[in-house]
Amino acid sequence: MNRILIAEDEPRIAAFLQKGLQAHGFTTTVADDGIEAAYMARSDQFDLLILDLGLPEKHGVQVIEELRGRGEVLPIIVLTVIQDVQDKVKALEAGADDYLTKPFSLEELIARIRVQLRYQRSSQPSEEMVLRAGDLVIDLRQRRIQFKGQSIELSTREFTLLEMLARQPGRVWTREDLLDQVWGYDYDPNSNIVDVYVGYLRKKLGRGLIKTVRGIGYRLQS
């Protein structure tokens, strides 16, 4: 299980990131200032750092420079509200591996995390890259779906939603949880987009796989 350090001083965003990453199988720890982030990132306990630039005590670029100056090769994804091109250039030149601006989609962040962890995954058992629930098989590396022996084509959003449900078969997910994890923390909470995409999945996989829990949300049949 990959371990991710989240350097973020905004509690709401930090909590959202923790919840979303944990739902995708990651272990998370939060540092809420730059000094703590730099110290913890040197501990060799983490596989990736998600770094806000506007941290108190020490700016994110300084954190990157300190880590790279010590020879740390920990992958760093900058996640910040700062959209200025020069700040982005500074962060990347300092040694950041990727740069994503807020507001952001959790789906996109997860994809970027997986890209950065790709080389590490090559040494992990391949079973960790495959989710199984009854007749459903999800290959996370190839992003391929098989159901009852047949290959199923899904859109990126459909895949992410199904993956979320399949990581914990039998768990009841509220619509709000799925909206947060698949569409992002800034998405309209009154949207019916979750129900729409569950409908898309049922058209491709049949109605029996994803069960409706009346008044709550959905669960994947285990």
Q: What DSSP string runs through 116-135?
A: HHHHHHTTS-GGGGEEEETT
pLDDT in tens, 30-72: 999 999 999 999 887 899 999 999 999 999 999 999 999 888 8
* Confidence (pLDDT) at 125: 45
Q: Among positive and negative, which fits the CA dihedral 29, 30, 31, 37?
A: positive
Give me the CATH code for the 126-220 domain, please: 1.10.10.10
pLDDT in tens, 10-19: 999 999 999 9
**pLDDT tier for residue 196 given thresholds of 50, 70 and 90:** very high
Burial class (CB in 10 A: 0-12, 13-18, 19+), 37: buried
Give me the CATH code for the 3-121 domain, please: 3.40.50.2300
pTM of the model as a whole = 0.62
Whether residue 25 contacts residue 3, with contact meaning beta carbons closer than 8 Å, is answered with no
